[in-house]
């Protein structure tokens, strides 16, 4: 017997599907609005990086949770140290955006303004991090046990193991974030300087920068009108706007009072010329680096094999190390809970609901690890060439290994048809894969130190 479905059933199903999809979209918009509200109330603005990531609210929440934990929550390092280490990390890639952002935050948490004159003005303990900063940023496979021995056994200026682990996490976090900033062209945006006040006293909706195509300077007012209206309605429906304005204004007034007290404490009475010079210290990353010619070099050249490939296998040795089996447990033991937060980031970025297939995501992740000297014995690297076109691989490698070398990265033809959110997802994958690679090398070296 053949059962014929009613003709009305199909339109009804379609309507239910559209209604379900609309509920999901509204839920994601509400989630973004809530995250932005929290940022505005706490900092008075929404930074450009969060605006870019807002197309993936699930990941953004995980990212902000981790970043807040390492920069602001309990930990062995003082708050000014944390932001200064972030400045040092961002300066290795000449990332003006992050250098300025963390310089401002460094002053807000009570950092000594004299340190911002350059690396030479920083305490000796911070200057000792310069070498490991260089190695992790450009050639992480050179990270060795001896680098950590020098820091842990340097007399009065020695670091504790817990302090060093937090410092390494901050360095790796900011190095990889530089890749995202340049990949999304945030650093070249004319309005990259964080604003102390949001326009019209309300939190800005995230700007749909068409970053991968180089259209990073399109004003938000020129964004797709329908998208702008949709986001604005979502924001209006998420809270009472009058209440929100009052909270924002109160937050801004409190922040301005704190900054005034800070200026009075340090008696920063400067002339206009001195103020211009101070502004330069925010935007000139070269003050915070040494050996500026050090950069990424090809890990594996066919005619040279100076370094042993870092292999990830099931059997542990000093050459075989993985995040799941070794890195996670070590970092979580030395820096409480950070392993769980980082693991959530890694899982979140690879499970985002996007058009990219799981095979493509894995190919991007493993290709980045490959160019950084990490190979997986259970992966067929022929898939990389099958799934990633040559121009796509060049783009991935540039963003991951030398993001600041080309100020305007050319969008690969294979990415051009994708939506902005899909291209941002590619840059998120690059950032997280690089972060994990740096952590693996650093944590392996620390393991070697501990068992030596």
Helix axis angle for 420-451 and 145-152, nearest 10°, is 70
Catalytically active residues are: 95
Among the residues of 271-418, which ranges form H helices?
272-283, 328-334, 338-350, 358-371, 382-387, 390-401
For residue 398, with 0-12 CB atoms within 10 Å meaning exposed, 13-18 middle and 19 or more buried, which class applies?
A: buried
Under DSSP, is residue 380 helix (H, G, I), strand (E, B) or coil? Answer: coil
Q: What are the backbone dihedrals phi and psi of residue 46, each rounded to the nearest 5 degrees, phi first?
A: -110, 120
Contact status, residue 376 vs residue 312, Cβ threshold 8 Å:
yes
Place of tokens 């994601």: 28
Name the residue among 321, 317, 299, 298 with its Cα closest to residue 308: 299
- The H-assigned helical ranges of 192-350 are 225-238, 241-266, 272-283, 328-334, 338-350
User: What phi and psi values does residue 7 have, to the nearest 5 degrees?
Assistant: -65, -25
Q: Which residues, other chains included, contact 243 with Cβ-Cβ below 8 Å and sequence gap of 6+?
A: none
- The sign of the torsion formed by the CA atoms of 377, 430, 136, 108 equals negative
SS3 of the chain: helix, strand, coil, percent, to 5 = 65, 0, 30
Contact indicator for 409, 213 with CB cutoff of 8 Å = no
CA distance 42 to 45: 8
CA atoms of 174 and 366, how far apart (whole Å): 21
What's the sign of the alpha-carbon dihedral 141, 324, 133, 104?
positive
Q: Report the SS3 class of residue 409.
A: coil
Q: Tell me how far apart the alpha carbons of residues 15 and 21 are, in angstroms, rounded to a whole number.
A: 10
HSE of 109, CA atoms in CB hemisphere, 13 A: 17
* Helix, strand, or coil (residue 375): strand
Spatial separation of the C-alpha atoms in residues 252 and 328, rounded to whole Å: 39
417 half-sphere exposure, CB direction, 13 A CA radius: 3
């Amino acid at each position: 017997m053949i059962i014929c479905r009613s003709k009305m059933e199909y339109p009804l199903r379609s309507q239910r599907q559209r209604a379900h999809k609309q509920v999901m979209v509204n839920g994601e918009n509400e989630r973004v609005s809530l995250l932005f509200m929290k940022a505005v109330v706490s900092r008075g603005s929404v930074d450009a990086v969060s605006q870019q990531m807002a197309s993936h609210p699930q990941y953004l929440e995980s990212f902000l949770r981790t970043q807040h934990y390492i920069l602001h929550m309990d930990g062995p390092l003082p708050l000014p140290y944390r932001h200064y280490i972030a400045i040092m990390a961002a300066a290795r890639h000449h990332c003006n955006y992050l250098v300025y952002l963390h310089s401002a935050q460094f002053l807000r948490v009570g950092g000594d303004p004299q340190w911002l004159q350059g690396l030479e003005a920083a305490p000796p303990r911070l200057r000792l991090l310069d070498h490991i900063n260089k190695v992790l940023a450009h050639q992480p496979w050179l990270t060795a046990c001896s680098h950590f021995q020098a820091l842990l056994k340097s007399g009065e200026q020695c670091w504790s193991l817990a302090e060093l682990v937090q410092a390494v996490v901050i360095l790796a976090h900011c190095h990889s974030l530089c890749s995202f900033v340049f990949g999304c062209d945030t650093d070249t945006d004319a309005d990259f300087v964080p604003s102390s006040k949001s326009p019209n006293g309300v939190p800005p909706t995230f700007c749909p920068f068409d970053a991968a195509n180089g259209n990073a300077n399109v004003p938000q007012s020129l964004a797709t009108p329908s998208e702008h209206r949709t986001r604005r309605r979502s924001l209006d429906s998420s809270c009472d706007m009058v209440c929100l304005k009052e909270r924002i204004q109160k937050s801004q007034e409190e922040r301005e009072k704190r900054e005034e007290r800070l200026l009075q404490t340090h008696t920063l009475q400067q002339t206009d010329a001195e103020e211009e010079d101070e502004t330069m210290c925010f935007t000139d990353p070269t003050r915070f680096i040494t050996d500026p010619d050090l950069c990424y070099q090809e890990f594996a050249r066919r005619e040279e094999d100076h370094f042993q490939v870092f292999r990830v296998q099931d059997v542990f040795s000093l050459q075989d190390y993985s995040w799941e089996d070794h890195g996670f447990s070590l970092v979580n033991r030395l820096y409480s809970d950070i392993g769980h937060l980082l693991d959530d980031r890694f899982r979140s970025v690879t499970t985002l609901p996007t058009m990219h297939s799981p095979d493509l995501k894995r190919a991007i992740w493993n290709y980045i690890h490959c160019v950084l000297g990490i190979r997986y014995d259970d992966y067929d690297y022929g898939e990389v060439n099958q799934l990633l076109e040559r121009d796509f691989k060049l783009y991935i490698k540039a963003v991951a290994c030398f993001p600041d070398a080309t100020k305007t990265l050319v969008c690969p033809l294979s990415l051009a048809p994708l939506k902005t959110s899909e291209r941002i997802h590619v840059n998120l994958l690059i950032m997280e894969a690089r972060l994990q690679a740096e952590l693996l090398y650093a944590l392996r070296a620390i393991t070697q130190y501990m068992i030596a």
